C-alpha cells in the first residue's frame, strides 16, 4: 500500500483528512492516481454492454471519482486557507490538468449517449422524483457543456476549459500576493481615532510579521476599521489606494491582461454552445433565465438606492463641513464620516457595541438559532486533526442525539489565507450507497486578537456563512451531486442570507450579546439604537453592491472583450450608470475574485441581490407570525435546507411561502421605500 496519506484509508474520527500527515508533495501523485482511477470507472460505464438503466449508468456515475473528490476537496480547501509556495506551485500545475480531466469526462460521447437514451425514455422508467430530477439536470448539464457537439467543437471546449483554469489560478494568486505583500506600519502617534479593538488587532498583525509597532493590512477586517475610525486623512487615503489597487500593480501580478483573456475565452465558449454571450449562456440555467431579468431587478433597486445615497451624502457633507473638513468627500472619507454621522444621528457608536460581540458569544448565538429552528446541537470536539491551530471542530447532533455532521470553523485572517469569507466542504452528505455524513468548513477573516471582538457586520457574516454550512449539514439528498449547496447558482445564497435575519432578532441579542469581560447583557438602550440604525448607510451599501453586479453583466455581454481597456471600460461604465461622486465599485475588476479567480459567480454576482428578494420575503412570514421561531414556518424552512437540488428551487420556495416572492420586503428592509 502507498505511504501517501491521501491514498490510504483514513481512520481519523469521522474520516477527517489526516492533516498532520499531509504534505504538498503528496498531492501530485494522488491527483495522478485519482484521475486514472476515475477515467477507468467512467470507461467501464461507457463500455457496459447492457442497455442503459438508471442504476448501471446514472447511479454508477454518481459513485465514480470518489478518490478524486477526496483529494481535490482536501487540496482546494488547503490552498484557499493555508496557501504555501509549494501548494500554489501544485495548483498552477494541476488546475489545467484537472480542468481538462473534468471536461473530457463531461464531454465523453459514450456517456452522453447512455444519458440521452435514459432521458428520452424518462417517462417510462418509474423513477422517484429525486431520480427524475437528477436525470433531467444531468442531461441538461451535459447539453449545456457541449456534449452533443461535433468532435472538433468538443476538443476546442476542452482547450478553453484548460486555459481558463490556468488563468483563474493566476488571477487568484496575484490578488493573494498583493494582499499579503502590502502593509502600512504605524507609529503610536499615527493611531489617532482608532478604538482599542482596532489598535489591538493592528498590534497583533505587526507581531505576526515580526515588526514593532502597529500594522494595517489589506484584510477587510483590518483596512475597513482603519478607514472608518482613523482621523488621519492622509493615512486613510494611503490605505484606501492600496485596497483598490489590488490586481492593478504593474508587472507579473497585473490582472488586467488576464481579465481580457478570461472574458474572450468565455465569450468563445458561449458562442460554441449557441449563445450570443457568456451571460446569456450562464443565466439560461438559473432562476433568472436571462440577463434582462437580472438587469430589471438591479435597476429596480438602483434608482431608490442612488436617491437615498444623495440624501446620505448631504448629511455627511454637512457634518464634515461643520467639523472643519474642506472640499468634497473623497472615497477614503466616506466610511469615516458615515460612522460619525451614525453616532450623531442615532447616538450609536460601533466601538461601544464590539465589547458585547465576542466571537464566542456570536458563535453561541448561531448555534442556538440552529437549535431552535432545526432541532440540532453542536458540541466541540478536541480529538479531531486540524490543519491550523486557529481551526476548531464541532460535531452536529440531531434532535435524537445522533451524529449528523462535522463543522470546522476557521475564523481568523492570516498570511496565505485568501480574503473574504466562504463555506466549503471536505465531504458532502449522501445516502444512495450507504449513509455518508458531511464535513463542512466555514472560513472568515476576523482580525485575530484576545479576545476576538466582532463588528456587527462581522457577526452578520458569521451568520451568513453558517447558513451556508447548515445547507450542507442538514442535507438529506441521496445523491452527492444534489447535496447541500449544489443548487441553481441564484438560489445558493438564499439559505445563507435568510439566516442573517436571526442575528437581529431582539431575543437573540438579549441572550447572546454580552460583554466579554463582565458577562453583562447588551444594554437595552444600545440594543434599540442598534436596531434603529440598521438602515443607516443603506444607500451607500446598496449602490456599492449593485454597481458591482451591473459591471459583471456588462463585462460578460461585451461584444469584443479581447480588445477591452479594463481601466477605461470601468470609468466609462461608472459614468454611464451615473455612479455617484466619491463612490467606487465594491469589487474593481482587477481584484473581483468572484468573477475571475474561478467561474462560479461569473455573470452571477447578482445572485446575492436575487436571493435577498427571497430572504427578505421569507423572513417577512416569521415577522407576520409574530414569532421568529414559529415551528410551522421553521419546519418549512428546514425542508429547503434539506432538499438540496432534489426539487426546483421556486417550487421549494412556493411550498414554504405559499406564493411567489415579492420585492417590496427587500426595499423596506434596506430602507429604500418612498413614503
- Give the DSSP H or E segment for 340: helix 331-346
**Spatial separation of the C-alpha atoms in residues 303 and 219, rounded to whole Å:** 31
Query: Reduced to 3 states, what is the DSSP secondary structure of residue 651?
Result: helix
- Is there a contact between 570 and 589 (Cβ–Cβ < 8 Å)? yes
- Is there a contact between 447 and 205 (Cβ–Cβ < 8 Å)? yes
CA atoms within 13 A on the CB side of 269: 26
Of 169, 171, 144, nearest to 260 by C-alpha is 171
- Is there a contact between 223 and 336 (Cβ–Cβ < 8 Å)? no
Of 379, 386, 482, nearest to 429 by C-alpha is 482
C-alpha cell at 51: 442497455
- Say whether 339 is catalytic: no
Of 485, 432, 564, nearest to 130 by C-alpha is 432
Q: Where are the alpha helices (DSSP H) in 195-277?
A: 196-208, 220-229, 233-244, 256-272
Task: Please give the full DSSP string across 92-141, using - where no structure is assigned.
Answer: HHHHHHHHHHHHHHHT-HHHHHHHHHHHHTGGGS---HHHHHHHHHHHHH
The residue behind cell 411567489 is: 660
Q: In terms of DSSP bridges, do strands 214-216 and 377-381 run parallel, antiparallel, or are they unpaired?
A: unpaired
The residue behind cell 481519523 is: 12
**Spatial separation of the C-alpha atoms in residues 637 and 628, rounded to whole Å:** 12
C-alpha cell at 638: 428546514
Q: In terms of DSSP bridges, do strands 439-446 and 422-427 run parallel, antiparallel, or are they unpaired?
A: antiparallel
Q: In terms of DSSP bridges, do strands 377-381 and 392-397 run parallel, antiparallel, or are they unpaired?
A: antiparallel
Which residue(s) pair with 409 in the sheet? 392, 442
- Give the DSSP H or E segment for 317: helix 291-322
**Spatial separation of the C-alpha atoms in residues 84 and 409, rounded to whole Å:** 20
**Spatial separation of the C-alpha atoms in residues 520 and 522, rounded to whole Å:** 7
C-alpha cell at 499: 439566516
C-alpha cell at 657: 411561502
Of 617, 606, 633, 624, nearest to 669 by C-alpha is 617
Catalytic residue among 465, 493, 544, 570: 465
- Residues that are catalytic: 465
Amino acid at each position: 500500500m502507498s505511504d501517501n496519506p491521501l491514498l490510504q484509508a483514513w481512520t481519523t474520527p469521522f474520516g477527517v483528512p489526516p492533516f498532520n500527515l499531509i504534505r504538498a508533495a503528496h498531492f501530485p501523485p494522488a491527483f495522478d492516481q485519482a484521475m486514472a482511477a476515475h477515467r477507468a470507472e467512467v470507461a467501464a460505464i461507457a463500455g457496459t454492454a447492457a442497455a442503459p438503466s438508471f442504476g448501471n449508468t446514472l447511479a454508477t456515475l454518481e459513485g465514480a471519482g470518489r478518490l478524486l473528490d477526496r483529494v481535490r476537496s482536501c487540496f482546494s480547501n488547503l490552498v484557499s486557507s493555508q496557501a504555501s509556495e509549494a501548494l500554489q506551485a501544485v495548483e498552477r500545475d494541476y488546475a489545467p490538468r484537472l480542468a481538462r480531466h473534468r471536461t473530457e469526462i463531461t464531454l465523453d460521447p459514450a456517456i452522453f449517449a447512455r444519458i440521452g437514451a435514459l432521458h428520452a425514455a424518462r417517462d417510462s422508467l418509474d423513477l422517484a422524483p429525486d431520480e427524475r430530477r437528477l436525470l433531467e439536470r444531468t442531461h441538461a448539464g451535459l447539453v449545456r457543456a457541449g456534449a452533443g457537439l461535433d468532435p472538433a467543437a468538443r476538443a476546442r471546449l476542452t482547450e478553453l476549459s484548460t486555459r481558463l483554469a490556468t488563468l483563474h489560478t493566476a488571477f487568484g494568486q496575484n490578488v493573494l500576493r498583493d494582499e499579503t505583500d502590502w502593509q502600512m506600519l504605524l507609529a503610536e502617534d499615527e493611531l489617532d481615532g482608532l478604538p482599542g479593538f482596532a489598535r489591538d488587532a493592528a498590534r497583533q498583525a505587526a507581531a505576526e510579521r515580526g515588526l514593532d509597532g502597529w500594522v494595517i493590512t489589506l484584510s477587510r477586517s483590518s483596512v475597513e476599521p482603519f478607514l472608518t475610525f482613523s482621523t488621519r486623512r492622509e493615512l486613510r487615503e494611503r490605505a484606501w489606494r492600496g485596497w483598490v489597487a489590488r490586481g492593478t500593480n504593474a508587472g507579473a501580478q497585473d490582472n488586467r491582461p488576464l481579465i481580457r483573456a478570461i472574458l474572450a475565452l468565455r465569450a468563445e465558449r458561449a458562442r460554441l454552445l449557441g449563445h450570443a454571450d457568456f451571460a446569456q449562456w450562464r443565466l439560461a440555467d438559473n432562476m433568472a433565465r436571462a440577463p434582462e431579468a437580472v438587469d430589471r431587478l438591479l435597476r429596480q433597486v438602483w434608482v431608490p438606492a442612488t436617491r437615498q445615497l444623495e440624501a446620505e451624502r448631504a448629511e455627511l457633507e454637512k457634518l464634515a463641513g461643520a467639523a472643519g473638513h474642506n472640499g468634497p468627500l473623497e472615497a477614503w472619507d466616506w466610511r469615516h464620516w458615515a460612522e460619525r454621522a451614525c453616532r450623531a444621528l442615532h447616538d450609536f457608536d460601533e466601538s461601544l457595541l464590539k465589547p458585547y460581540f465576542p466571537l464566542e458569544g456570536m458563535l453561541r448565538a448561531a448555534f442556538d438559532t440552529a437549535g431552535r429552528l432545526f432541532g440540532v446541537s453542536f458540541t466541540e470536539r478536541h480529538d479531531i486533526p486540524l490543519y491550523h491551530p486557529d481551526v476548531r471542530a464541532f460535531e452536529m447532533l440531531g434532535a435524537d442525539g445522533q451524529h449528523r455532521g462535522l463543522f470546522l470553523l476557521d475564523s481568523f485572517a492570516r498570511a496565505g489565507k485568501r480574503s473574504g469569507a466562504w463555506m466549503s466542504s471536505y465531504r458532502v452528505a449522501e445516502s444512495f450507497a450507504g449513509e455518508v455524513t458531511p464535513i463542512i468548513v466555514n472560513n472568515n477573516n476576523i482580525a485575530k486578537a484576545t479576545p476576538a471582538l466582532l463588528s456587527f457586520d462581522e457577526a452578520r457574516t458569521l451568520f451568513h456563512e453558517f447558513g451556508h454550512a447548515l445547507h450542507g449539514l442538514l442535507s438529506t439528498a441521496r445523491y452527492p451531486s444534489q447535496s447541500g449547496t449544489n443548487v441553481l447558482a441564484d438560489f445558493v445564497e438564499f439559505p445563507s442570507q435568510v439566516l442573517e435575519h436571526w442575528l437581529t432578532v431582539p431575543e437573540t441579542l438579549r441572550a447572546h450579546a454580552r460583554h466579554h469581560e463582565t458577562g453583562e447583557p447588551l444594554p437595552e438602550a444600545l440594543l434599540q439604537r442598534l436596531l434603529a440604525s440598521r438602515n443607516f448607510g443603506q444607500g451607500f451599501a446598496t449602490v456599492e453592491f449593485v454597481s458591482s453586479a451591473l459591471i459583471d453583466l456588462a463585462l460578460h455581454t461585451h461584444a469584443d472583450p479581447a480588445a477591452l481597456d479594463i481601466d477605461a471600460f470601468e470609468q466609462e461604465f461608472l459614468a454611464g450608470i451615473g455612479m455617484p461622486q466619491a463612490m467606487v465599485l465594491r469589487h474593481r475588476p482587477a481584484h473581483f475574485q468572484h468573477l475571475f479567480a474561478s467561474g462560479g459567480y461569473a455573470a452571477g454576482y447578482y445572485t446575492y441581490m436575487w436571493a435577498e428578494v427571497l430572504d427578505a420575503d421569507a423572513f417577512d412570514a416569521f415577522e407576520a407570525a409574530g414569532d421568529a421561531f414559529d415551528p410551522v414556518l421553521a419546519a418549512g424552512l428546514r425542508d429547503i435546507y434539506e432538499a438540496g437540488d432534489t426539487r426546483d428551487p421556486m417550487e421549494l420556495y412556493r411550498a414554504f411561502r405559499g406564493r411567489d416572492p415579492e420585492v417590496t420586503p427587500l426595499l423596506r428592509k434596506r430602507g429604500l421605500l418612498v413614503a
